Amino acid sequence: MKSSMWMKPLATLLAGLASASALWAQAPDAEGEVTRIDKAAGKLTLRHGAIRNLDMPPMTMVFRVTDARLLEGVAVGDRVRFAADKVGGTYTVVSLVKTAP
Ligand SMILES: [Cu+2]
């Protein structure tokens, strides 16, 4: 059996898996501004734009964070890109990056 016979289907399969895992990882595609940080409680308040995966319009609200380390390096007033999801019924930030000024 020539290797070219299975290399192409394999490549297609791997590409499919890569895009599926990218969806799972949730690229931080929502934008917001940090208005309050509560490290002890693992919460932050964001004035955010639309969050497509949650079907949420722009607003200011409190989010839990999956990991308090997400709050390190961000300060009130910072603009951020983030991904949020509903975890156990609570709106939760699952990834957060400071937007370059
Ligand atoms: Cu909201």
Q: What is the pLDDT of residues 53-83, one digit of tens each?
A: 999 999 999 999 999 999 998 999 999 999 9
Centre of ligand 1 from the C-alpha of residue 40, in Å: 21
Is the pTM value of this prediction over 0.85?
A: no
100 pairs with which residues across the strands?
none
Question: What pLDDT was estimated at residue 20?
Answer: 47
Q: Which domains are delineated in the chain? A: 30-98 (2.40.50.320)
Give 15 Cα–ligand 1 centroid separation in angstroms. 33
Task: Write out the residues surrounding ion ligand 1, Cβ under 5 A.
Answer: 56, 59, 61
What is the mean pLDDT of the segment spanning 40-48? 97
Q: What is the pLDDT of residues 2-43, one digit of tens each?
A: 656 666 665 665 555 554 444 455 678 899 999 999 999 999
